[in-house]
Structure 1
């Protein structure tokens, strides 16, 4: 399938419009880490504040990286990050501060690298907002398969999640659908390009909005794979998806909302959420069936530099500092160099 150029111009503009909607008054930002918890005593908040630490874990070489996605290899502990501006994928190894280029800019025709995940077989999944998702062997760096969005309409393939059965689920922020790639489809697509097929369509479920506006963003899978959680960054709602029945339901949120939510991370019944233009990370307790969630803590800090997603490894959150508002797709100015991945401990 030929690559579609027009949709990325439309969706990049939509991204800028949506993320720039945040009034400054809505972002609770301080010069150092602050923790807010509804109805928490001041002494408890001060104690929590002292336990949250933000520092730099890794540096990404390049002047215009503007990273967007991150993934951890469950077998090796390596981390992978992708550049939104040119599709470069970096690999970060334990004990080394500076990342190495794993896949160069424009590899295999990709213009961007958004959502990233590494599966149990050592395959790296990389979404490209303009086309779909590419799958690589992390040992040989060989392209194993590619799946592309059908049609000519605008699209923005954003984040993805992997379930224990080997299926991949990908959000489209403009079409408000979640695509699915099954292990059988991956096997059939070996060495060639296949078409992405929708697994869920949330068009009639989300709150009404202008055509082409952003909606779905981060997505995670429950530990059993019986349900998925995906967030509507504009409406601030979380949705539960049932792969077996196809059912879609709004998750009951208590203690806050998920406005401006981007990447998600789910481990041990807790859900971590980055709120991009708020420079914030929140932590939620999720029920076992995924039908309700309660916010436990929220950290807001300008040191997060417009975070887009995160991954949790051995108790540490590795957060992508996109700097999209510093000369990137959302603003003017000069970004801090080098671009970095932050480590957040104590949240």
Structure 2
């Protein structure tokens, strides 16, 4: 493993390992609360139907990202451990390999998104993002973070005008790629440039902690929402003025929040370490959010992200804590994408 990848893996382990403050029992003995869903305050118990929807071939897939093509209903998922991209079609059960491991030099895959033109965006934590034609599988463009400083390019969102925004969990910045930049790249590599810097806006944290993770775009094109998984806060990024503001959260926080999905004022959040999905109502201007529902279930298997397609919520069951990037043990095989109803 290259030195940079080792450093990033160590940072990921520190950020994703659930560190819950110790509490004192009645005898005055310090009790360390375990990293378990019951250790996190929850709303009234809620039940959801969680079942496998698609199977991903491979022994060490450890999926991380997922995207839906609104035109076809096809889903795409990526392997964090080797960069394989899988395709899932409606009515099927088994996923097929869309892009093999190591394609175009990519050996990991994090965030995925399909834009309105049918282009698949795939982030690589240590390099940047690649853009593919879903019909021909051809690489259309690649955008790379410049320099040698640590980075972790994580998730991606697409605004109505076709501009992509990507989070960096180590640098706490959001990069931007415009449609014109994609057109000019024309199969070549171009620099990935920051648009928002949130370092001063975030809650204080350890230098090695992961911060920005999931990101979504308001369908009206006014703002972005991105989450700080360590601080548990949600941030609003104004697309017109460039202003950065903290969203007022009511009824809970977004600790350990990973992937986000926004539809018609409803925001679904995958909380990885705690095996939790929450549902929030977002104000029209994006300045506040109220939790409506919370579901915690071991069957979510360390959920890293989620996407809603044709009325169904699909959740990535990464199993990162079962012999993957942040844990030891043996994962349940095959790796699966779950459908979740009732959230």
TM-score (norm 1): 0.92
Show the counterpart of 1:233. Answer: 229
* Structure 2: gaps of 5 or more residues: 21-32
User: Matched residues in 2 for 1:36 and 1:326: separation?
Assistant: 24
How far did 1:7 drift? 2.6
Q: Does 1:208 align with 2:204?
A: yes
Task: Describe how 1:1-347 pairs up with structure 2 within 5 A.
Answer: 5-23=2-20, 25=34, 27-29=36-38, 37=43, 49=47, 52-347=48-343
User: Matched residues in 1 for 2:17 and 2:242: separation?
Assistant: 33
The answer to whether the 8 A contact 1:175-1:212 is kept is no
Give secondary structure in 2 for the equivalent of 1:278.
coil
Give secondary structure in 2 for the equivalent of 1:65.
coil
Give secondary structure in 2 for the equivalent of 1:324.
coil
How far did 1:207 drift? 1.4
User: Matched residues in 2 for 1:267 and 1:27: separation?
Assistant: 29
User: Matched residues in 2 for 1:100 and 1:338: separation?
Assistant: 13
User: Matched residues in 1 for 2:123 and 2:245: separation?
Assistant: 25
* Structure 1: gaps of 5 or more residues: none
TM-score (norm 2): 0.93
Give secondary structure in 1 for the equivalent of 2:37.
coil
User: Matched residues in 1 for 2:120 and 2:270: separation?
Assistant: 22
The answer to whether the 8 A contact 2:18-2:35 is kept is no
How far did 1:27 drift? 3.6
Paired positions, count = 330
How far did 1:209 drift? 2.0
User: Matched residues in 2 for 1:16 and 1:190: separation?
Assistant: 37
The answer to whether the 8 A contact 1:172-1:217 is kept is yes
The answer to whether the 8 A contact 2:142-2:190 is kept is yes
The answer to whether the 8 A contact 2:14-2:208 is kept is no
Residues 12-37 of structure 1: CA deviation (Å, up to 9, x unaligned) = 1101111113445464359xxxx953
How far did 1:222 drift? 0.5
The answer to whether the 8 A contact 2:258-2:269 is kept is yes
The answer to whether the 8 A contact 2:175-2:192 is kept is yes
The answer to whether the 8 A contact 1:60-1:339 is kept is yes
Residues 203-245 of structure 1: CA deviation (Å, up to 9, x unaligned) = 1111122223210000000011110000000000000001211
Give secondary structure in 1 for the equivalent of 2:277.
strand
The answer to whether the 8 A contact 2:70-2:309 is kept is no
User: Matched residues in 1 for 2:296 and 2:249: separation?
Assistant: 19
User: Matched residues in 1 for 2:288 and 2:268: separation?
Assistant: 14
Give secondary structure in 2 for the equivalent of 1:134.
strand
Residues 26-85 of structure 1: CA deviation (Å, up to 9, x unaligned) = 64359xxxx953xx6xxxx5xx53xx2110000000000000000000111000000000
User: Matched residues in 1 for 2:208 and 2:195: separation?
Assistant: 20
